[in-house]
Amino acid sequence: MPPDAIDFSVRANLIERMDEPCSRDVLRAYLRSLARTNRLTFGYRPTLRWLDSLLPTLKQRGNPIRIVDVGCGYGDGLRRIEQWAQSRGTHVELTGIDLNPDAVAIAIEAGPKQSRIEWIQADVLSFVPAQPPDLVVSALFTHHLAENEIVRFLTWMESHAQIGWFISDLSRAPIPYHFFRLYSRLLGLHPCVQYDGPISIARSFIHEDWQRMCAAAGLENGACEIVPCKPARLCVSRRKPQ
pLDDT band at 68 (very low <50, low <70, confident <90, very high): very high
pLDDT of 1 above 50: no
| Residue 35: domain span | 17-239
Cβ burial 112-129 (10 Å sphere, 16+ → b, else e): eeebebebebeebeeeeb
Instruction: Quote the CA–CA distance of 169 and 99 in Å, as a whole number.
Output: 18
* Residue 59 forms part of a structural domain: yes
Determine, yes or no, domain membership for 5: no
Q: Does position 42 have pLDDT exceeding 60, yes or no?
A: yes
d(CA 223, CA 135): 16
Whole-Å CA distances, 232 to 43, 193, 227: 10, 16, 11
The number of folded domains in the chain is: 1
**Is residue 10 in some structural domain?**
no
pLDDT at 2: 44
pLDDT band at 3 (very low <50, low <70, confident <90, very high): low
For the domain that residue 200 is a member of, what is the CATH number?
Answer: 3.40.50.150
User: Per the domain annotation, does 85 fall within a domain?
Assistant: yes
Q: What predicted TM-score, i.e. pTM, was given to this entire model?
A: 0.95
